[in-house]
Structure 1
Amino acid sequence: MQQKMTRRTVVRTAAVVGAAAALGPVLSATATAAPGTGAATAAVAGGRRPKRPATSANGWTIQANVDRDSQVWTRSVSGAGLSVPVWIGDVETVLLHVVRRFHYEVEELHAGDLAGWRPAKEVRRRHPESNLASGTAVRIRQGAGAHGSLFPLQIDTIRAILAECDGVVRWGGDDKPVDESLFYIVVGPLDPRLADLAARIREWNATPGRGAGVTVA
């Protein structure tokens, strides 16, 4: 014996069928996306990876400004009465040591002779001078970068300073084109030679009779 379907039964049946039909695509999409959640996320993000920060020629990150939200801060050069913006820490220790030795042993420096960090737009990318934009280079006697701006004995002293730095610092006088005013860190941020040299310099500075500016009898 067949039962008659009431109006209420028809409405309930239609509602259940409609709900199932509506949920079908959602459940299907969820089941499909679950195994590849990473791929789905990448698709939403357009598959783009985070952009690497720009670096100077020696591999250090270029800094957008100085003395604020930056790795570059203005530091005083002990005994010279000068200051210069450089990457703080080991780079600072090494570059200021070079500046002090130059001041005491090559030529006395005056206001305007020393420069450090420069905005990236003011230097040539992929050239040694780009290291200024990361605070890992200095110009000593800026404006006197042409070949022949130093006497032979001065160059000999610079060679001695570079030898003491064990390959961590390079002089623009050895580059092409020549820039005799430029001194820069030539090793990357993870090179252990930088930390080793900085530690030695700090030890020299803390030991009476050693460090830059000491007169040898």
Structure 2
Amino acid sequence: MLTGEHSANGWAIEKGADIGGSIWTRPIPGSPVTAALRIGDVAVVLVHVVRRFHYEIGTLNRGEVVGYKSPSTVTGYETNHASGTAVDIRPGWYPPGVRGGFLPHELTVLRDVLGDCEGVVGWGGDRSHPDEGHFQIEVGPGDPRLAKVAAKIRGWNNSPGKGAGVLIAIS
């Protein structure tokens, strides 16, 4: 199912999702949303990002999260979609090139989510040409930081009162 090419973040690009490769449609717990993501640690981390968005920024509906995109439709950093290592949340709400799509308290939550991810996830709002609905894995395959963050999130998922859906204190 591989194309022989790699995405901007170094992961293997696949020809499609749900066709026997490493990219499968995953549910976002607590929501009606699904996203086609690279299974394993990548999916654990990106599902966490989307789930916290859903719980703490805005309720997501079907069709408001895009994971995998065909390699023929993406270039540059967007190739990370073709490797199952990126998601766009509400892409029509946050057009590329535009800043200011989030209120201050929403930005606080976004920064907290990125803090959870310890540099493993990048936000398109931090790009020089912003894409505020875009989140991607920033590390390549085999980077131990990804496994560390995924293990932490798995632990939260198994511990009530931890992880997504837990309110943060804003001072």
- Scaled by the length of structure 2, the TM-score of the pair is 0.91
Relative contact order higher in (CA < 8 Å, ≥ 6 apart)? 2
Q: How many residues align?
A: 164
C-alpha distance in 2 between matches for 1:97 and 1:53: 29
Equivalent residue for 1:197, pick from 132, 145, 149: 149
C-alpha distance in 1 between matches for 2:168 and 2:8: 37
3-state SS of 1:139 partner: strand
Residue deviations 1:154-204, cap 9 Å, x none?
112101110111000000001121100100000000110000100110010
Partner of 2:20 in structure 1?
Answer: 69
Instruction: Kindly indicate which of the two structures has a greater share of residues assigned to strand.
Output: 2
Quote how far apart the aligned CAs of 1:99 are: 0.4
Matched, 1:107 2:58: yes
| Equivalent pair of 1:128/1:172 in contact (CA under 8 Å) | no
Quote how far apart the aligned CAs of 1:69 are: 2.4
Cα RMSD over matched residues? 1.5
C-alpha distance in 1 between matches for 2:70 and 2:28: 21
Matched, 1:60 2:38: no
Structure with max Cα Rg: 1
Residue deviations 1:85-118, cap 9 Å, x none?
0000000000000000111111111122111000
3-state SS of 1:95 partner: helix
Letter aligned with residue 41 of structure 2: D
Residue deviations 1:50-103, cap 9 Å, x none?
xx9200000000010111121100000000121110000000000000000111
C-alpha distance in 1 between matches for 2:56 and 2:35: 19
3-state SS of 2:31 partner: coil
| 1:57-206 to 2 correspondences below 5 Å | 57-124=8-75, 127-145=76-94, 146-206=98-158
| Equivalent pair of 2:31/2:60 in contact (CA under 8 Å) | yes
C-alpha distance in 2 between matches for 1:112 and 1:79: 15
Quote how far apart the aligned CAs of 1:215 are: 4.1
- Scaled by the length of structure 1, the TM-score of the pair is 0.72
Q: Which runs of 5+ in 2 are unaligned?
A: none
Instruction: Kindly indicate which of the two structures has a greater share of residues assigned to helix.
Output: 1
Letter aligned with residue 139 of structure 1: D
Q: Which runs of 5+ in 1 are unaligned?
A: 1-51
C-alpha distance in 2 between matches for 1:56 and 1:216: 34
> In structure 2, do the counterparts of structure 1 residues 193 and 121 end up closer, same or farther at CA, with 3 Å as the change threshold?
same
Letter aligned with residue 93 of structure 1: V
Quote how far apart the aligned CAs of 1:147 are: 1.5
C-alpha distance in 1 between matches for 2:168 and 2:85: 30
| Equivalent pair of 2:9/2:139 in contact (CA under 8 Å) | yes
3-state SS of 2:125 partner: helix
C-alpha distance in 1 between matches for 2:168 and 2:133: 26
